[in-house]
Every structure is written in C-alpha cells, then in structure tokens.
C-alpha cells in the first residue's frame, strides 16, 4: 500500500492507494468514525461497487444507509443536493455521523458539498472510483455543485478525513472515461513534472505510480495554498477555457477531461503567440492529448461564441483574470490578465484557428 498524508494548519488526513482496498473500507473507516455512514453514489457505480462497500461497512459493524442518484454531470445540481439533504434528514443523520462519497468527480463534489453544508458540516470520506477523481478531484477539499450560470459556482473548501483509492476500480471504467482522467494527469506533468509528462506520453508508467505521482503534486500544492488564491491556481491549467466549453455545450458534448484537454491545447497555442510559452510547447501538449484519444479541435464559430463565458470564471479577482500558461513542459506560470477574452480572440483570428 502507498500512503500519502495531506497536512497543513489544523488539517490532516491520509490517502491510501492499493489494489483491492475497497473491500477493506470498513476497517479504515472504523479508525476515524464510530457513527452511521451515509453512502452517496450514482447508479453506474452502485451497480459495480455498492454491494462491496455496504458489506465491508457492515462487517466492520458500521451502521449504514445508501442514496443513489442518476449518473452524469447534470445531476451535480441543486435539485439533487436538496434530495440528498432530505435523505440525510429521513435517516436521522447527525453530527456524529458521516458521508462516504463513492464514485467519480460528480459524486465527490456533490456528496462532499452535502457533507460540508448539512448541519454546518459532518464527516466525509472520499472513495474515488474514476481515474479523474483518483488523481485529482478527491484530494484538496474542493466540493461544489454546478449552477445555471456556471460550473462549480456554489461550493466550499471541505476536506475529508480519509481518501481511499483502489486502482482496480478502473477495470470497470469505460475507455472514454479513462482517457478523460488522463487529461488531468497530462495537466500535472505540464505544470510541475516533465519526467511525469514524458512517462505519460510514452505510456511508460504503471497505473499505481501514475496515481501516486499526480496525488503527490496536488498534495504539495494544496499544502502551500489551500484556498486557491496563489500557487493552487496552477491546477487550473486548461480549466479556464475548459469550463467555458463545458457550459457552452450544457455539459453534454464533452466530458470534463475532454474539455480540459481542449483548454490545454488552445491555451498553449495562444500563449506561444503572445508568450510565455517556448516554441514547440503546444505541439508537445497536442501530442500527449492525441496519445490518449482526447479531442483537440473545436469549431472556430463555437469557440468565439463560448469564450465570453470565461468572464464568469472563479479565478476572476476584481477585473483581473488569472490564467495558467506554460513557460515550458513541467513549468506552469500564473498570468494575471485584464483583457484575456479579447486578446485570445484576436490571436485566434490572426492564426486562423
């Protein structure tokens, strides 16, 4: 088993990574909680892992209940959140109890925000089952729901007491969603670790090592900047444009990772023109994105229409938008801008993109 610890200020929790550890969830939970567990999951994940989790908890003597919602980004909304609140109330969940978020990024965000807000905060365990959630969204304490005016616009910073990662859960992940997670892995290599980027590009890293390396980077960044006001903004590489793409297509055409892949390629093509990216950086990003069958082109008419949605981005501070660009592979930089949308539109037009 590989174990990492997130530790800063008064926050501390372990991240365990091991094949087959899902069947031992009850043992791990018993070391930190003694109340009732409310398992929150979606119908896809429940089909594969719901019974394993419930049996593990019951063997450990943990009282349990379970709420299952329809899978998909469309469920990460206020309507589903209200239904979860009602379920928790019906089950008499109190401050001595806790939520287990079993699933991908949508479940982690949704169930995590329910934990953060119900009774002003109850316990939380993250059990990510998708690659994207295992390497990124389950770690760092960001939880949220989408709103009609933007992605992740209502949320909180709320850390779990435990993250349990079983890489064998990826065996049941559809190939498209495995590649979806690889977009976030590529991001980590781009912003902080060229050796990781090269290993990803060359398909020369094991699944467990990939998860460990990505989580290590996120752990280190979060420990320095927990609330996303400085260094942590690096983790948004590809996301500024990616979130606008998701919103423009109403979360139906592209997965999150696919949108991030598009965002990374477009951002680096742009930053090669105006700086700071060194020549050839965009091609390397494109090569990695193509290696995992991720999208890298979007109709220019759509792109010009969706770019204004960036004005609602959470990285806006006053009239300044902080965007993440690459100096070169392995070195991300945060660039404050005031006219980003007009600048990128002009650059795209000039390049015929």
Beta strands in the chain (DSSP E): 2-8, 11-17, 37-42, 64-69, 98-103, 123-128, 142-147, 150-157, 162-165, 316-317, 320-328, 331-337
Rounded to whole angstroms, the maximal C-alpha distance in the chain is 65
Residue 93's pLDDT is 98
For residue 59, the surrounding DSSP H or E stretch is helix 51-59
Q: Which residues contact 315 (CB under 8 A, 6 or more apart)?
A: 233, 236, 240, 321, 322, 323
* Contact between 89 and 27 (Cβ < 8 Å): no
Q: What is d(CA 257, CA 135) in angstroms, rounded to the nearest whole number?
A: 12
HSE of 88, CA atoms in CB hemisphere, 13 A:
28
Angle at alpha carbon of residue 33, lines to 140 and 119, rounded to 5°? 70
Q: What is d(CA 192, CA 188) in angstroms, rounded to the nearest whole number?
A: 6
Angle at alpha carbon of residue 253, lines to 249 and 259, rounded to 5°? 80
Tell me 76's DSSP state.
S
Block residue for tokens 């792109």: 303
Q: What is d(CA 289, CA 298) in angstroms, rounded to the nearest whole number?
A: 14
Query: What are the pLDDT tens digits along the chain (353 aa)?
Result: 999 999 998 999 999 999 999 999 999 999 999 999 999 999 999 999 999 999 999 999 999 999 999 999 999 999 999 999 999 999 999 999 999 999 999 999 999 999 999 999 999 999 999 999 999 999 999 999 999 888 899 999 999 999 999 999 999 999 999 999 999 999 999 999 999 999 999 999 999 999 999 999 999 999 998 888 889 999 999 999 999 999 899 888 999 999 999 999 999 999 998 889 999 999 999 999 999 999 999 888 788 888 888 876 655 565 688 899 999 999 999 998 888 888 777 766 655 55
Q: Report which of 165, 353, 154, 166 is spatially closest to residue 269, judged by C-alpha positions.
A: 353
Q: What is d(CA 53, CA 337) in angstroms, rounded to the nearest whole number?
A: 46
R_g over Cα of the chain: 20
């Amino acid at each position: 088993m590989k174990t990492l610890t997130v530790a800063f200020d008064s926050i501390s929790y372990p991240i365990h990574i091991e094949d087959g550890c899902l069947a031992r969830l009850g043992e791990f939970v018993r070391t930190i909680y003694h109340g009732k567990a409310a398992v929150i999951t979606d119908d896809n994940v429940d089909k594969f892992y719901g019974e394993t989790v419930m049996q593990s908890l019951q063997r450990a003597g943990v009282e349990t209940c379970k709420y299952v919602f329809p899978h998909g980004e469309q469920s990460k909304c206020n309507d589903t959140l209200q239904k979860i609140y009602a379920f928790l109330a019906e089950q008499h969940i109190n401050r001595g109890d806790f939520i287990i978020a079993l699933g991908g990024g949508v479940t982690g965000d949704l169930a995590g925000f329910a934990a953060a807000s119900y009774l002003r905060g109850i316990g939380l365990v993250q059990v990510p089952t998708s690659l994207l959630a295992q390497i990124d969204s389950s770690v760092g304490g960001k939880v949220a729901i989408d709103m009609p005016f933007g992605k992740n616009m209502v949320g909180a910073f709320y850390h779990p007491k435990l993250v349990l990662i079983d890489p064998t859960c990826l065996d049941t992940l559809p190939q498209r969603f495995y590649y979806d997670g690889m977009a976030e892995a590529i991001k980590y290599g781009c912003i902080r670790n060229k050796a990781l980027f090269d290993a990803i590009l060359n398909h020369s890293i094991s699944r467990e090592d990939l998860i460990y390396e990505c989580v290590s980077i996120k752990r280190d960044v979060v420990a320095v900047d927990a609330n996303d006001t400085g260094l942590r903004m690096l983790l948004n590489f590809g996301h500024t444009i990616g979130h606008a793409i998701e919103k423009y297509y109403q979360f139906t055409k592209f997965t999150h990772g696919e949108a991030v892949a598009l965002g990374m390629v477009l951002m680096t093509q742009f930053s090669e023109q105006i700086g700071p990216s060194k020549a050839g950086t965009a091609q390397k990003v494109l090569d990695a994105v193509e290696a995992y069958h991720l999208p890298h082109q979007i109709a220019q008419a759509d792109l010009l229409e969706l770019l204004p949605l960036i004005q609602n981005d959470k990285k806006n501070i006053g009239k300044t938008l902080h965007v993440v660009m690459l100096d070169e592979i392995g070195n991300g930089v945060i660039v404050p801008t005031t006219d980003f949308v007009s600048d990128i539109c002009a650059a795209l037009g000039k390049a015929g993109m």
